[in-house]
Amino acid sequence: MYTQALSLEKQQNTSQEDPERLSRFQARIDAEERIEPTDWMPAAYRQTLVRQISQHAHSEIIGMQPEGNWLTRAPSLKRKLQLTAKIQDEAGHGLYLYGAAETLGVSREELVGQLLSGKAKYSSIFNYPTLSWADIGAIGWLVDGAAIMNQIPICRCSYGPYARAMVLICKEESFHQRQGYETMMALARGTPEQKDMAQDALNRWWWPSVMMFGPPDKDSVHSEQAMRWKIKRFTNDELRQKFVDATVPQAKYLSLEIPDPELAWNEATQHWDIGPIDWDEFWRVVKGDGPCNRQRLAAKRAAHEDGAWVREAAEAFAAKRAARRTVPIAAE
Ligand SMILES: [Fe+2]
Ligand SMILES: [Fe+2]
C-alpha cells in the first residue's frame, strides 16, 4: 500500500503540491517538530530521505566487507572478538536503517535490488582495500570517527524514524571509534615495524576519510534543501572541518603524521587548514572505478544468492506461525 502511494506521489512534481500545505509543512520543520511516517510530506522530502537513508544502509552493509577480510587473521582472540562484535553492529545498523527507509513506503526488496544492480550508491570509502591489520585500526579511528561527525547531527533530523535510529547507531559508532583508536595506539607504541604499519594505514585512509563528507559546499547539489528541511544540520565543509579539528590532535598523541604537507593551524579561524583534496579521485571512485568497487558488489551479490535459502526458510516459518495463529482455539 505504501509503495503504491509512493509511486503515485513520485509522479507529482513538488511544484504541483498545494503551496498552503507546503508552507504548513515547512512551519512544522521550523518549529522543530518531528515528521512521522503517517504525516503528510512533500514528495521531494520523501525521496531525499529514501535516497539518504538507503545509501546509509547500503554503506553499513558493504562496510562489513573490508573488515571481514581480517576476521580470520586478527592478531589475538581479544581483537577477533572486538572485530566480530563491530561487524555484527554494522549489520544491525544496516537492518535498522532499511527499516527506517521502509516507513517511507519503499520495500526492502526494492532497496536491496538497487544495491545489487549497482544503481544505488554507498559510501566510497568502502571501495578501498584493507592491506594490513593496521587498516582495521585506521578504519575504526578515522572512518567510524567521520561517521560519528556525520551522524550525531542526524539524531536531530526532522524525520522521526531516522533520528531515532541514529541514537542507538551513534552509541555503537562511538565504541567502534574507540576500539579503532586503541588498536592504532597499540601499534604506534609497539615495535618500529608496527609503528610503520600504523603510519602506512594512516597515509592510505586519511584522504578517503576526509572525502567521506562529500563534495565541497559549492558543488553539493542536495545540501541547501536538506538543510532547510533539517535533514542536514551542518554543511559538508563544516562537518569535514569538525572532523579534521578533532582528529589532528589524536594523530599527534599517537606520534603519527597526517599525510598532508599543507596541514597548518590557523590562528585567525582557530581551525586546522588542510591542503587541496583530490576530487578527481573522489568522483572516479563514486562512479565505480575505485580499487575494489567490482569486488564489493560481486561479493554482495554472491552473499545474497547464497542466502536465498535462509530467506525462504524464514518466510516459510513466518507463514507457518501465522497460519497457526489463525486456527480457532476450540479447534486446537
Ligand atoms: Fe555503522
Ligand atoms: Fe561503525
Position 43 scores a pLDDT of: 96
Give me ligand 1 centre to Cα 89, in Å: 7
CA distances in angstroms from 97 to 1, 104, 111, 168, 252, listed in the order given = 20, 11, 11, 11, 35
CA distances in angstroms from 179 to 85, 86, 87, 93, 161, listed in the order given = 11, 9, 12, 18, 28
d(CA 139, CA 128): 11
pLDDT digit string, tens, across residues 161-201: 999 999 999 999 999 999 999 999 999 999 999 999 999 99
Structure-block grid coordinates of residue 213? 563528507
* Averaged pLDDT, 84-97: 97
Give me ligand 2 centre to Cα 144, in Å: 5
Give me ligand 1 centre to Cα 31, in Å: 30
CA distances in angstroms from 278 to 39, 246, 260, 274, 331, listed in the order given = 42, 21, 12, 12, 70
Beta bridge partner(s), residue 35: 159
Give me ligand 1 centre to Cα 332, in Å: 45
Nearest ligand to the CA atom of 151:
1
Position 12 scores a pLDDT of: 46
In terms of pLDDT, which residue wins out, 13 or 309?
Answer: 309
Give me ligand 2 centre to Cα 188, in Å: 22
Structure-block grid coordinates of residue 60? 553499513
Position 1 scores a pLDDT of: 38
Nearest ligand to the CA atom of 96:
1
pLDDT digit string, tens, across residues 30-77: 999 999 999 999 999 999 999 999 999 999 999 999 999 999 999 999
| Alpha-carbon torsion, ordered 145, 214, 154, 268, to 10 deg | 70
pTM of the model: 0.90
| pLDDT averaged over every residue in the chain | 93
Give me ligand 1 centre to Cα 320, in Å: 33
d(CA 93, CA 99): 10
Give me ligand 1 centre to Cα 316, in Å: 30
* Averaged pLDDT, 249-266: 98
Nearest ligand to the CA atom of 178:
2
Nearest ligand to the CA atom of 175:
2
Position 220 scores a pLDDT of: 80
CB 98 within 8 Å of CB 109: no
pLDDT digit string, tens, across residues 137-169: 999 999 999 999 999 999 999 999 999 999 999
Give me ligand 2 centre to Cα 147, in Å: 7
